[in-house]
Structure 1
Amino acid sequence: MSEETPDIVLVRRTQQGDQAAFGLLVEKYQH
């Protein structure tokens, strides 16, 4: 994953139960 994943993609994956995507979202917004 060298490219930045669009937030909307991470959100959709998180809604489908993707814990890895949720972790990426958390990391993004902690900074």
Structure 2
Amino acid sequence: MVTTPSIEELELALGKPACALFKASSVILMRA
């Protein structure tokens, strides 16, 4: 689940590249 505060902190937006790191039971999302 990606929260609104996380989206704002990472400055994510439609069309912006991003990467996701899958580790066991968690996912780490970061801007590319």
Same fold (TM over 0.5): no
| Greater C-alpha radius of gyration | 2
TM-score category (smaller protein)? 0.3 to 0.5
Higher helix share: 1
Higher strand share: 2
TM-score (norm 1): 0.33
